[in-house]
Structure 1
Amino acid sequence: MPLLGGAAADQEALRASGYRGITGARPETTGGTDLAKPVAVTADSFKASRTAWQTAHQRNSTVAMLDLSGSMTEDFPGTKTPKVAMMQQLLKLAFTLAFTLASPQQRSTMWFFANRPGGPVFDDVPLALGSPAHIKAINAALDHAKPGGGAPVYLAIERAYGYAVEHYVPGRVNRVLVLSDGANEDTGNKVTLAQVKAYVAKRFDP
């Protein structure tokens, strides 16, 4: 801008508008604010800012899974809030923030797992792009989630990982998020930890 290195009158006009002088001195006007002294932007600070921006705006494809076994009715350690209630609140906030602050192009699905007569793993909200209707459906599913039964953790991870691979989208962060309070406790299914590891290793594609 010509005003920055121009005549004294031009520089005075800038100071009168609240801008600092080239020495960083505070403007000598009643309307000026006590701004911080200008500092140079370093390569590290620029890199950190860029990384934070990219992380906040990256597009994800998330399969979220919530444990609904009986132990989830117990209070979260150090609180008087049941584990399932805390996870419900956390997931609602996470999905809402991902849509409103990051990108409406986030893809997500909400799964639940527990030993139930109708099946150990169930998908209440299909994988879809973020939208007010999708977030509303996820919140409704979380509100109706009731704990009870065993925890088929290994089976749930195996099925969710397979689903994530089948619905993989290049250019996105494709992930499976498992929220559980303990180890595999499932007498109805015989999936072992070794089998899960082998399954993931076989399906994994860099």
Structure 2
Amino acid sequence: MNMKTLKAFIALLAISFSGFANAGLIEFEYTGTGSGTIGGQAFTDSFFTITEYSNTDDLQSCSATCQYIDAISTTITIDNVGVFDFVSGTRTFVTNGILGLSRAGQSGMDLYNVFNVGSYDLLTALDTVVDSVSFLQWNRSPSVNTSGGKLVFNNGDTTGTFQARFNSPATVTEPTTLAIFAFGLLGLAASRFKKA
């Protein structure tokens, strides 16, 4: 294999892999201030961030006007309490201009609703929406379990945010690493051919 062919092959390999790096992956982020308990430890008026990583290829319908995506993984950061992974499945859904976080599955009960997101479709990025939000049904069965224990937010309304974005650090996947590796091989091959 001559040098030109090797370079073309490695470049094609790198481009192919890098194209898959963020395919279908989206990050949904909810923030707000709430009170409740995690693993029996109380927190009051604490700022939190819930981050869901999802695959847009998993979009499903829950009714004629409802769509949802079950999360691949979900974490919560609660100020002065800690960072915890959700053990219970979650999803992000949208129906009639209301978007929310809920338990996973077609009929997962709502947990945190954001109002007035219009016709957002769960498949695109969305700049930060600041709006009225509601906590509801956290104390119902099945429990919402995390690596820190059972999580319960007290029911109520507050102001919160939602945003959806691609190209987050969490979506840097193995194919991107392979692309970088391919460029490294190109460098090694080039140095080898220069010595010959």
Under a length normalisation based on structure 1, what TM-score does the superposition of the two structures give? Answer: 0.22
Structure with the greater alpha carbon radius of gyration: 1
